[in-house]
Structure 1
Amino acid sequence: MITRLERKQMKIFFIVLIITTFILGLSLRWAYILKDNMTITNLVAVQMLIPAISVMIAELKTEKHEDILFTFNFLFTIFTMFSYIILMLGLLFQNEIFNMIFGISSAIFHLLLITIYFKESILVREERLYTFTNSRKSIFFIILFVFLFALRSFMAFFFNRDEFFNMINNINILLFLILFLNYFFSFYFFFGEELGWRYFLQPKLQKIFGKRIGVIILGVIWGVWHIFISLYYYSPDTFLYQVLIQVFFCIAMSIFMGMCYMETENIWLCVIIHYLNNNLAGMVSGGEIANKVISLNDTIDAIIINLIFFGIFIFAKSYRKVKKV
């Protein structure tokens, strides 16, 4: 049974989430009209921070926090606001230097967060925020995800010979090395989403609707939340097909990642899987993830293949247990 406090937190969370996402969506439209592709990409990254900000504001309004956690939340919020303002100034003055400032400040902020994490052990106070909670299970799920992602990619491209060989050519050792190193300079974007979706919202929705329906509803919310990104970044010319793919993909991934989170209670596992999914998708596609033109057949194929490889885990043992999260 969900508590009054949790209901209040959810209300604040959704109010902040909807308002800030809408404001950022208008900014994406502005950048799209100006054909400023770099700023669009950076605004997409900033949107990933919105779920975490929504959680932090909801908890700040309803709970008391230790000083160090307040400092962490404060820095996270300040950097998000700073990033948005910098990118808006870039649009206003049409100067690429603001995108450079965003990139440099992002790297600095990552190093600052890593320093706070290891020096103050800020996130160790609660197990679900501790990096090494259920580490063996977490490693297993990371390996499982990479295997499923690779198998899904081969299946998706196998019947298109040109696309299949393009995918093979796009994969190399150097990219995997960069993939590993880049995590430490981009993880907080994925933390921004996962703190909202898996850590905060999933347990509450599962308490209200049950384990299976809860993660499916979460997947729909997560998918619809991408609506401005789909319209102005992923596929402006075939927007409706992209939205359909996004919603069903998020449902499938919510099922898989929901299982991972219930089994480990380690939010950083979900951060890593989210990071791997986005970046591996960029690798196998040769970096072409924006401005895609999608057909009806592409849409149907993507929905089916994602539900097969990741949605199938709705039948996993984690969802059959009587005890709710």
Structure 2
Amino acid sequence: MGENLKQTKDEVSLFLFITFLITFLMGGFMLYVHKTMINVNLATFAEVQMFYPAFVVIALKMFYYKEEINNNILIFYKIYIGLFIISFAIQILGVFLFPHKLEIIQAIVLSIFSIVTFSLVIKNKENCFEKINMVFGKNFKMVIILAVIFFILKLVVSLVYAILPGQVFSISGNDISKTILSIITIPINIVLIWIMFFGEEFAWRGYLQPRLQVMFGKKLGVIILGFIWGFWHFPLCFMLYSPATPILCVISHVFYCTIIGVFLGYVYMKTGNLWSVIIIHIINNSSLSAGAGYGAILTLKDVAISILLFAIVYLPFIFTKEYKADKNEFNIQE
């Protein structure tokens, strides 16, 4: 057990080092673009950044355990690596060669790869995707129930913000209507953009969560994961989300990701299905978020209210039975 735990710690350390190295190197390039190229939509950097974590996980798995990986999973992994390389190249070259078409080209590439990989997962030859908790129909009823619960909780948060005039997070009735209508696009987005959200959830929930929970226990492991996930947004806070108040943005993201991570951790343990957190992540990004969007100017009051509200809504899930089992009971799947 001691040797396995040491190997787990070594792999986690390597994963974090490579993931943050890529993130901050691209963050430096993003800073250059931010300072010198006003005609580039920096939102494309955020989209490509979502691919980094899963790319690192897949690279590590193929390096350490390639002989143990099912051939169908290996094909899926290789396609994902191709998506990462192409998207990375398009982002770097596109800001110079076709800045006005960068967003649409990335969207086309994303949709093509999402459709191809979605078809592979749905076919699930030899039930191979069960090994990485990616069987679409697994605990499907519970997946849908938890997705609906998340949407309702998100709507409640939005309604509370709507009655808080004067806040940067204040939300209008029209915004809430758009949030409700956005649920219609979720099935389409699952097919067309799911692979982008896989880029985060395969790494954060599928890979890192069980390892941190073995190392630190179920509750503390998820809290540490939330801090890591939130801090990973550091470059985006400085150049995209809130360039005028980046420190407050980082603080806000660290708390938000830690708190919402408690709910996502609960969902993943409850369903044992990575699709559950992918779908919830899509709902979160497709509907109204608890933020003012890109370029927001935050105040300490805004951040405090946001943290308090999310803590009230999502932190109670840490007291569910899924978080009460002993840390050694959590199975790490390779």
Q: Is TM > 0.5 for Structure 1 vs Structure 2?
A: yes
Who is 1:303 aligned against? Answer: 307
Indicate the residue corresponding to 1:116 in structure 2.
Answer: 120
CA contact (8 A) 2:114 2:195 kept: yes
Note if 1:273 corresponds to 2:284. no
- Describe how 1:1-325 pairs up with structure 2 within 5 A: 2-33=4-35, 34-38=37-41, 40-63=42-65, 64=67, 65-93=69-97, 95-121=99-125, 123-126=128-131, 128-160=133-165, 163-171=171-179, 173=181, 175-281=182-288, 289-322=293-326, 324-325=329-330
Q: Is the 8 A contact 2:5 2:215 kept in 1?
A: no
Does structure 1 retain, via aligned residues, the 8 Å contact 2:110–2:196?
A: no
CA distance in 2, matches of 1:169, 1:129: 32
- Shift in alpha-carbon separation, 1:56–1:319, aligned structure 2, 3 A: same
Structure 1 residues not aligned, in runs of 5+: none
CA contact (8 A) 1:205 1:215 kept: yes
Task: Render the CA deviation track for 1:51-92: whole Å, top value 9, x for unaligned.
Answer: 101111111111122222222111111111111111211212
Calculate the TM-score normalised by the size of structure 2: 0.89
So what's the TM-score if we normalise by structure 1? 0.91
Is the contact between residue 156 and residue 305 of structure 1 (CA under 8 Å) also seen in structure 2? no
SS class of match (2:38): coil
Q: Distance in 2 between matches of 1:128 and 1:7?
A: 22
SS of aligned partner of 1:237: coil
Q: Comparing 126-135 with 257-266, which one deviates more in the overlay?
A: 126-135
> Separation in 1 of the partners of 2:33 and 2:315?
35
Question: Is there any run of 5+ residues in structure 2 with no aligned partner, and where?
Answer: none
169 and 267 in structure 1: CA distance in 2 versus 1, 3 angstrom threshold: closer
State the one-letter code of the partner of 2:150: F
Alignment partners' CA distance in 1, 2:21 and 2:150? 33
Query: 1:163 & 1:102 partners in 2: Cα distance?
Result: 30
Q: Say if 1:159 and 1:94 are closer, same or farther in 2 by CA, change over 3 A.
A: same
Residue type of the alignment partner of 1:189: M
Q: Structure 1 residues 71, 129: CA separation in 2 closer, same or farther (over 3 Å shift)? A: same
Counterparts of 2:253 and 2:203, CA distance in 1: 18
- Aligned alpha-carbon RMSD (Å): 2.2
In 2 relative to 1, CA 169–11 (structure 1 residues): closer, same or farther, beyond 3 Å?
A: closer
Name the amino acid aligned to 2:209: Q
Shifted more, 57-66 versus 218-227: the winner is 57-66
How far apart in 1 are the matches of 2:56 and 2:14? 8
Distance 1:46 1:146 in 2: 25
- Report the alpha carbon displacement of residue 97 of structure 1 after superposing the two structures with TM: 3.1
Identity of aligned residues (%): 27
Cα offset, 1:32, TM superposition: 1.6
Task: Report if the CA contact (8 A) 2:34-2:239 is conserved.
Answer: yes
Please report how far the alpha carbon of residue 257 of structure 1 lies from its aligned counterpart in structure 2 after TM superposition.
0.7
User: How much does 1:167 deviate?
Assistant: 2.7
Q: Kindly provide the amino acid, as one letter, of the partner of residue 190 in structure 1.
A: F
SS at match of 1:142: helix
In the TM superposition, residue 123 of structure 1 has moved relative to its aligned partner by 4.7
Paired with 1:41 and 1:4, the residues of 2 have a C-alpha distance of 38
- Cα deviation, residue 166, structure 1: 4.0
